[in-house]
Amino acid sequence: MTPVSVLTGFLGSGKTTLLAALLLRPEFANTAVVMNEFGEVGLDHHLIEAGGEDMIALSTGCICCAARGDLLRAVTDLVARRAAGRIAFERIVVETTGMADPAPIVQSLMLDPALAETVSLGRVVATVDALAGAETLDDRLEARRQAVFADRLVVTKGDLAGAGAAEALARRLRRLNPAAEVVIGANGDVDPAALTPAADASQAQRWTALLEEIARAARHGHDHAHHHAEDGVVSVLLRREAPVHAAALPLFLEALAETYGPKLLRLKGLAAIREAPDRPAVLHGVRHVVHPPQWLDAWPDADRATRLVLIGEDIDPDWPGLLLDLLDEEAGLAAD
């Protein structure tokens, strides 16, 4: 499987600088890049120093809106050219525009049955500028959406803003998105492993990264309130000690989709299932598109509670847990 990672971040936050620097690193050799050429002037295109034939620039507008079909065609085209032996690559990075909402982009990649045979989701990485990022997060919902949606957050321009400002922004980002790993970079000097899974990473290794995210969110939930809001964008940790009936799980996902619609941006976590107490189910979804639950062979640690991270807008911190309790009670009565 070829991992497809999505690089997002607000206008001027340093996405292309980061990508250009990473593409020069040996770890990023054999990377194909799909980027957005917004409007007539493909400025970003000319800033990339590497990539050559493996780069495709989209020119029909923002890939999160009108040109999602173009994105899929671009990725499909890359895969087809590789299959024909014309190019070689081991991973794909999609760079979005600064205003893009990454959710529909990732959703498109998740849903395409033709691509499912050859590509898997990599990571969603968002850049946040240490100089102007705090102000942008205050003013722009697009920037907050990008930050809460990401698996990894890179604080850029740390060298220009100074360590204090970069650390303060990193702390804010950790509160906003407790599941994400936050790294501080300067001039694109970021560990490549933080941004995309190794091309040869096994499924187990990829699960490990996801489990670390959940553990990070759970630790944060212990240390602080389990809910952080910035103008309606929230990260909610749902923790439940008792295992749930298997039948309650799909009903829970349906009820979340019914209630929150596009306001639910991401869901990821581990669920303890009554019928399979030794094998936790891993849940991962973007908006209302969810991967079929994956079953781990064993619990990763001694904690056997259900731990779900919900990221979205206007999510009441107590509501999802109550909903799961109600559905589990109903499923239990039906089973008795």
Partner 1 sequence: MTEADMRVFLEGLLHAWAVDGAVEVRPLEDGMLGRIDRTGRAAIRVTRRRLPFGIAWEVGPEDGRRRAHPSVQGAIRSLGALLAPERTRGRVVFAASAPP
129 binds partner 1 per the rule CB under 8 A = no
239 binds partner 1 per the rule CB under 8 A = no
Residue with tokens 């809106």: 65
Whichever of 163 and 202 has its CB closer to partner 1, that residue is 202
Stretch that binds partner 1, among 57-65, 164-172, 238-246, 312-320 (CB under 8 A): 312-320
- Which pair of tokens denotes residue 258? 């019914």
Q: Which of 257, 274, 299, 300 binds partner 1 (CB under 8 A)?
A: 257
- Percentages of the chain per state (helix, strand, coil), in multiples of 5: 40, 25, 30
- Which pair of tokens denotes residue 17? 């600088």
Which residue type, as a one-letter code, is found at position 133? Answer: G
Residues 258-277 that bind partner 1 (CB under 8 A): 258-264
E-assigned strand segments in the chain: 2-9, 31-36, 55-58, 91-95, 119-129, 152-156, 181-184, 227-230, 233-240, 264-273, 276-286, 289-290, 294-295, 306-313
Residue with tokens 């990339």: 48
91 binds partner 1 per the rule CB under 8 A = no
Whichever of 157 and 284 has its CB closer to partner 1, that residue is 284
Mode of pairing for the β-strands spanning 306-313 and 264-273: antiparallel
Q: Which of 254, 275, 278, 303 binds partner 1 (CB under 8 A)?
A: 254
Whichever of 130 and 179 has its CB closer to partner 1, that residue is 179
Shortest distance, CB of residue 210 to partner 1, whole angstroms?
6
Q: How far is CA 227 from the centre of its chain?
A: 19
Contacting positions for partner 1 (CB under 8 A) = 1, 3, 109-113, 115-116, 119-123, 151, 197, 203, 206, 209-210, 250-251, 253-264, 282, 284-285, 287-292, 294, 314-316, 318-319, 322-323, 325-327, 329-330, 333-334
